[in-house]
Structure 1
Amino acid sequence: MARGPRGESGHRLIGASPEDLLTKLRVRSETGFRQRWRRVKTSSILAIQAGVAGALSWLFANSLLHHPQPVFAPISAVIVLDISVGQRLRRTAELVFGVALGIFIGDSIVFAIGTGAWQLGLVVFLATVLAVFIGGTPAVVSNAASSSVLIATLSPPAKGIYYLRFEDALIGGLIALGVSALLLPANPVAAVSRKAGPACTALADGLAQAAHAMGDRNADEADEALTRLQEAGITVSQFRDALPESRETARVAPLRWRSRGALGKYKDAAEYLERALSNARVLARRAVTMIRDEEPIPEELCRSVYTLGEATKEVRKTLLSDVRDPKVADLSVQAVAEAAEAYRKGLSFSGSAVVAQIRAIATDLLGTADLGHGEANELVRRAGGNPAKPVG
């Protein structure tokens, strides 16, 4: 008999009554339906945009410009909308260029040598090679090859080389951009915020675990904190990578123009968080060494790292608020002051390195609170017991 979860589940089903079987099947069916319905709702905006853009592009090319069978217009529209928002402007240009290249090669070759299996193979080969030769991106190469296939099979030229299909591709791409900008554009701030939250949480959790490991002098836990902070790079990268898409939406969608200021704040925060994460990794690595070398670890040093984690949790709240919240600055300065107290009590090499990283992280977190680099540095210097720099 099969073992493990699958075998045990099958055994329970065999011994169950018909009523239990029906109940379990109904629950599974309802769960599967809810999951599928959530996926449908998530994709509904894109489906509406694609339907409208495809219809408008065909209507414009066929009814207004009188292009016969403008199949490339809706195809281009759907392809452009299927591309992630932050790449649509660039990929639209690549799409039109690739389609134009495929049309040119397909029209030229098929008009000269006719249609057939070997002609199709030659057309695709030449379109691909030429697209690669001129330095085309994968999108250009793919579009050149696919459009040449359509030319050679579904719509071969009959009266010479003509360029209405290139115009259709351009029309479809431009209409798709217009539809995505005007019809139900995504909320760029909400999209970035969904990525900023996990990024802040990942950094905060890593710092909290490092602080706990230092307090318990647990080198293995400190090493786990280092691993967690290394893995946090994925969430911080996702936060940073979401910015181009959202900024493009705010740039091209009139309904989202007011989001541009808020997105600028998120852009700065992503850069500061990335630097803070890099410094936090160094901190965790030195914490591992500090514990294993049995260096002194004052309570204030552990508290300082924990306070940095609390400051990081406040960063997300600051990003979501239009009002400048002093909590990030207050907690960052507090962490530096606690680290300075630990330094005065006496630290060895790795402990001193941890203090240096605490000051660097605090400076980065102050940057997320809209403080300039000079102002942030000055706050850190004062909190650390350093005299202010003379002016002039």
Structure 2
Amino acid sequence: MTENLWPVAQQTVAATLSWWIARHVIHHHQPVFAPITTLVALNTARGGRGTNAVRFVAGVVAGVLVAEAAVALLGPGYPTIALAVFLAILAALVVGGERVTMAQAAVSAVIAVGTGIQAGSNRVVDALLGAGVALVFSQLLFPAHPLALLRRAESGTLADLAEALALTVRAVDGGDAGQREWTWEHLRAAYARLAELGEARADAGTAARRSPVWWGRREPVERESRYAAGLDLLGASCLTLTRTVLALDPGRRADFTPAVAELSRTLRSLAAAPGDHAVRQRAAERALGAAALAPALADGEAAETAAAATGVTMVVLDVLAFVGVPADEARAAVRARTTRVRVGAPPTLRWTSAPRLGGGPRRRA
């Protein structure tokens, strides 16, 4: 609740400013569309607000232009509205097909045909004004921190994967079919979280490219985004580990419980502060310790047991990749059954190293 108050305050001030400019500077008597544009543009996840503003304006402009052409061709009337809406939505599809663009194109076409072209033209001016205010707020005064976007998504993904492995341990200990089904459901939720991580990576990249505050400092964001992409592999490895362990004979499952439990604790600790160097170092050491807890395979070991052991190794290697350990060093450490490995400093991107163009609370990334 508290963390949502700041975005709400931004939207309130920005919408009020849009109304004031439209009313007292441009002298629109009913300047409702300027603040509406600002609110729609800013009412989305941080990192996507600037893009939302551009999509909104693109829809409005497309709708008004199509409406003008339809009126010139057919004159006012019901067929004109139908044609204008149809062509406006098609035009929105051509320029990207986002829902907000399609909706605004259709609405603007209806307004332009139904109330007159002048009303449509005024709406374009209001939309440009409202989007401009939204861009100033989202890109100059209060831009999203790219690494903060990534780390927040990483934390949620790691926490869900940690819980999935913890539930695997409980399923092994309890042997309850309902508990086992809960594990699968939670793994599916973790995959949904991975989809959100993909969106966060895209938003972080957009913020780093488009906000002047971050221009020329994209390397840390790109590096952390590559680490975050590795969580897709970690999710697949956790699913493999869960499936292979639960497929073992009851007597053999318990042999893997210590390793799976330690991996769960490792991911949970990493989720608490994925951008902290000491936390990453400790996570790497704990992951390697979990690899050592997996039972050694005897000659002629069953294929199912070998698959479970491989699952442990895969999770360990993916954790090491996420915290920044080179692949060859990670494999060597697993083979040597050692916990001695050095993790490089994670990417950082500080507000203080950029020119400040506005105030607002700052969160560490």
TM-score, with structure 1 as normaliser: 0.69
Per-residue deviation, residues 94-113 of structure 1 (Å, max 9, x unmatched): 32222112111223334665
Secondary structure of 1:371's partner?
coil
User: What is the CA distance between 1:372 and its match in structure 2?
Assistant: 2.0
| Range with bigger deviation, 305-314 or 73-82 | 73-82
Number of residues of Structure 1 aligned to a counterpart in Structure 2: 338
- Of 169, 185, 195, the match for 1:237: 195
Q: Is the 8 A contact 2:155 2:272 kept in 1?
A: no
Cα distance change, pair 316–296 in 1 and its aligned pair in 2 (3 A): closer
Q: Does residue 349 of structure 1 match 2:303?
A: yes
- Of 96, 101, 104, the match for 1:143: 104
Tell me the amino acid that sits aligned with residue 108 of structure 2: S
Per-residue deviation, residues 272-327 of structure 1 (Å, max 9, x unmatched): 33212211212222222212xx674573x332222222221222245142446432
User: What is the CA distance between 1:364 and its match in structure 2?
Assistant: 0.5
TM-score, with structure 2 as normaliser: 0.74
Match in the other structure for 2:241: 283
User: What is the CA distance between 1:144 and its match in structure 2?
Assistant: 1.3
- Of 313, 319, 323, the match for 1:365: 319
For residues 322 and 307 of structure 2, the distance between their equivalents in structure 1, rounded to whole angstroms, comes to 23
Q: Which has the higher helix share?
A: 1
For residues 273 and 135 of structure 1, the distance between their equivalents in structure 2, rounded to whole angstroms, comes to 29
Match in the other structure for 1:108: 69
User: What is the CA distance between 1:140 and its match in structure 2?
Assistant: 2.8
Secondary structure of 1:290's partner?
coil
User: What is the CA distance between 1:236 and its match in structure 2?
Assistant: 3.5
User: What is the CA distance between 1:347 and its match in structure 2?
Assistant: 3.4
For residues 150 and 124 of structure 1, the distance between their equivalents in structure 2, rounded to whole angstroms, comes to 10
Match in the other structure for 1:24: none
For residues 383 and 67 of structure 1, the distance between their equivalents in structure 2, rounded to whole angstroms, comes to 73
Match in the other structure for 2:225: 267
Secondary structure of 1:53's partner?
helix
Match in the other structure for 1:26: none
Q: Does residue 314 of structure 1 match 2:275?
A: no
Q: Which runs of 5+ in 2 are unaligned?
A: 339-365
Match in the other structure for 1:225: 183
Q: Which runs of 4+ in 1 moved over 6 A?
A: 65-70, 216-220, 254-262
Map residues 1-392 of structure 1 onto 2, 5 A cutoff.
38=1, 44-57=5-18, 72-110=33-71, 115=76, 119-132=80-93, 136-157=97-118, 166-184=124-142, 192-214=150-172, 221-222=179-180, 224-246=182-204, 248-249=206-207, 267-291=225-249, 296-297=252-253, 299=255, 301-323=256-278, 325-339=280-294, 341-344=295-298, 347-383=301-337
Q: Is the 8 A contact 1:240 1:267 kept in 2?
A: no
Tell me the amino acid that sits aligned with residue 364 of structure 1: D
Match in the other structure for 2:341: none
Per-residue deviation, residues 158-187 of structure 1 (Å, max 9, x unmatched): 9xxx96654543332122111123455566
Secondary structure of 1:86's partner?
coil
Secondary structure of 2:48's partner?
helix
User: Identity over the aligned pairs, expressed in percent?
Assistant: 26
Comparing both chains, which one has the higher relative contact order based on Cα–Cα distances under 8 Å and sequence gaps of 6 or more?
Answer: 2
**Aligned Cα root-mean-square deviation (Å):** 4.0
Tell me the amino acid that sits aligned with residue 183 of structure 2: A
